[in-house]
Amino acid sequence: MRRKLQVTVFDYGAGNLHSLIKALASPDVVVRVETDAAVAIETDALVLPGVGAFSTAAQRLAPARDSIRDAVARGLPCLGICLGMQLFFQESEEGPGAGLGVVSGRVTRLRAARVPHIGWNTVTEQTDPTLAAAGLTDTYYAHSYVCRPDSLDNVTAWTSVEADRFPAAIRWRNTVGVQFHPEKSSAAGVRFLRAFVDGVRR
């Protein structure tokens, strides 16, 4: 009987994580919610959820920022969703505070007439195998800020709102970030989360 995989969702204390936890859980996956960033990295995979504001989340991560960066650099699989993906970057226009800086770049406000961007949108130019395994085409978004990486080498999918084209997904080693909410993106979104977990097990 194979060992159950432990996936830890870091809780910034900003909202309901029920749908994300439910989507990640399976008979061979134990999902743990942790509020202490230093303890959260003691896991098989870390998930930074997409609920909350950049400044608050950065403040919660700050005591263990270097430890998280080191763990990710050593290969700890990490999935960042919406705000979680933005926390991989160095800073955000949304407010003060330092991100993890595992991806070089910053987060800026979406350049569109209607902000926030809420609803379904198309994911294009996909190159990440985890996205491909899920068969993602349309995904659900709820955000006002987007990631602007210094290098496009990290970008594995794109989305556009009006004339603003921004990363829908990024990858750096075992770190995956998505601007959309897979837990709200119907069956394909759940398949993406399961594909991420399957990749961790492999």
Number of domains composing the chain:
1
- The pLDDT, as a whole number, for residue 1 is 59
Domain span at residue 127?
5-201
Q: Beta strand pairing status for 155-161 and 145-149?
A: unpaired
- The pLDDT, as a whole number, for residue 32 is 96
Helix, strand, coil % (nearest 5) of the chain?
Answer: 30, 35, 35
Q: Using one digit for the tens of pLDDT, what is the confidence trace for 132-174?
A: 889 899 999 999 999 999 999 999 999 999 999 999 999 999 9
Question: Is pLDDT above 90 for 190?
Answer: yes
Question: Is pLDDT above 80 for 14?
Answer: no
Q: Active site includes 162?
A: no
Q: Active site includes 143?
A: no
Q: Tell me which of 14-18, 77-81, 125-129, 175-179 is least confident.
A: 14-18
Query: Whats the size of the chain, residue-wise?
Result: 202
CATH of the domain at 93: 3.40.50.880
Mean pLDDT score of the chain, rounded to an integer? 94
How far apart (Å, rounded) are the C-alpha atoms in residues 57 and 155?
Answer: 23
Single out the catalytic residue among 94, 143, 147, 181. 181
Confidence of residue 131 (pLDDT cuts 50, 70, 90): confident
Q: Active site includes 183?
A: yes
Q: Using one digit for the tens of pLDDT, what is the confidence trace for 73-105?
A: 999 999 999 999 999 999 999 999 999 999 999
Single out the catalytic residue among 82, 94, 117, 147. 82
SS3 143: strand
Single out the catalytic residue among 91, 117, 143, 183. 183
